[in-house]
Amino acid sequence: MVVATVFVVILTEVAPALGAYLTGLLAPFPVYAATLTIFAHSLQGKAPAIGVLRGVLLGLFSFVAFFFVLAVLLERAGIAVAFAAASAVAVVVQGVSLLALRRRRPILVVATLNRAKARELAQLLAGLPFDVRALADYPGAALPEETGTTYRENALLKARAGARLTGRITLGDDSGIEIDALGGEPGLRSARFGGPGLDDAGRVARVLERMRGVPDERRTARFRCVVAIVEPGGRERVVEGVAEGTIAEAPRGTGGFGYDPIFFYAPLERTFGELTDDAKHRVSHRGAALRAARALLEGER
């Protein structure tokens, strides 16, 4: 039956008239006629594609259900009742299986190779009708050099690269800390501030060195995050989030990453490094941008 089903599907794609004729021959067996129609339409792009292999499995499940019920009822209820009951059960099995296949959650890729950022993004996107994957999980994953002159351009560069590599909807972000006393630096260069070879602690130390002696009233700063969502078909959307704060005199807290330990958020009287993940997500720049992105993605399904 499986081989015959695959054969008829191929014929239906190559020769629609012949396929229709063969489907017509199965008219007394509505379950299989319907199965062939679903396969043919999927292959021709007229119905939600479930894939040939999954389509064959769908036909096989209904086939087994049909003959199981038929065998059980044939001697007890007569051929007419047994055939009707078997057909009904097979139709239900086929319908439920098809619904389950169509409800498989699509994949959303977050375009980052930074595991800490990937975890934070996954937390912020939890509950969406997507399976969230990090770009770092894909073999050969790489991100282009951040050559943009704005956060928006860099976020789009990352999201486009991820969409090309994976063929999935991809979310890319770019963020930075803008310190007023440093003329808006590090800004776009936040991840590279101080030159190559520095880790997060080294970049934090470099900022504090340059901020030495700056009075409290001039230590204002903000985190800015821009999120881009790019689909394989080319659709692009961009949102932004901002969090205002000041630069602390010394690192405080061990949470978060990057400049979090020196970004003091006055309403909570804590640095981002002292906040729990949930508390930080409620007030952070990335949390604000991801809430806006969530609103867009929730409309995808």
Quote the pLDDT of residue 78. 65
Neighbour-count burial of 36, counting CB atoms closer than 10 A to its CB (0-12 exposed, 13-18 middle, 19+ buried): buried
Active site residue 174: yes
For the sheet containing 236-247, what is the strand order? Answer: 131-134, 107-110, 169-179, 220-230, 236-247, 263-265, 270-271
Residues 93 and 126 placed together within one structural domain of the fold? no
Which of 78, 102, 126 is where one domain is finished?
A: 102
Residues 70 and 207 placed together within one structural domain of the fold? no
Query: Residue 42 sits in which domain range?
Result: 2-102
Residues 138 and 234 placed together within one structural domain of the fold? yes
Give me the residue label for tokens 């509950």. 127
For residues 135 and 233, what is the distance between their CA atoms, to the nearest angstrom? Answer: 18
Helix axes 52-77, 2-14, angle to 10 degrees: 130
Name the 3-class secondary structure at 78: coil
* Nearest residue to 223 (alpha-carbon basis) of 285, 277, 153: 285
Buried/exposed code over 1-32 (b: 16+ C-beta within 10 A; e: otherwise): eeeebbebbebbeeeeeebeebbeebeeeebb
The low-confidence residues of the chain, meaning pLDDT below 50, are 1-33, 35-36, 38-52
* Nearest residue to 47 (alpha-carbon basis) of 56, 39, 59: 39
Give pairs for 244-249: CB < 8 Å, separation 24+: 244/220, 245/220, 245/221, 245/272, 246/216, 246/219, 246/220, 246/221, 247/179, 247/181, 247/207, 247/208, 247/211, 247/214, 247/219, 247/221, 249/208
Residues 286 and 173 placed together within one structural domain of the fold? yes
Which of 56, 72, 102 is where one domain is finished?
A: 102
The per-residue pLDDT for range 208-249, each reduced to its tens digit, is 999 999 999 999 999 999 999 999 999 999 999 999 999 999
Task: Report residue 164 as tokens.
Answer: 């090309």
Give me the residue label for tokens 């059960």. 89
Task: Report residue 188 as tokens.
Answer: 């776009």
Q: Identify whether the C-beta of residue 165 lies closer than 8 Å to the C-beta of residue 136.
A: no
Quote the pLDDT of residue 210. 97
Residues 96 and 213 placed together within one structural domain of the fold? no
For residues 59 and 17, what is the distance between their CA atoms, to the nearest angstrom? Answer: 21
Instruction: Residue 200: give its domain's CATH number.
Output: 3.90.950.10
Residues 278 and 224 placed together within one structural domain of the fold? yes
Residues 94 and 146 placed together within one structural domain of the fold? no
Residues 166 and 289 placed together within one structural domain of the fold? yes
Quote the pLDDT of residue 22. 42
Residues 147 and 264 placed together within one structural domain of the fold? yes
Residues 175 and 282 placed together within one structural domain of the fold? yes
**What does pTM read for this prediction?**
0.65
Residue 170, beta-bridge partner list: 109, 230
Which of 69, 102, 135 is where one domain is finished?
A: 102
Q: What are phi and psi of 25, to 5 degrees?
A: -60, -25
Residues 93 and 121 placed together within one structural domain of the fold? no
Q: What are phi and psi of 183, to 5 degrees?
A: 70, 30
Residues 57 and 26 placed together within one structural domain of the fold? yes
Domains in the chain: how many in total? 2
Catalytic residue among 131, 137, 173, 174: 174
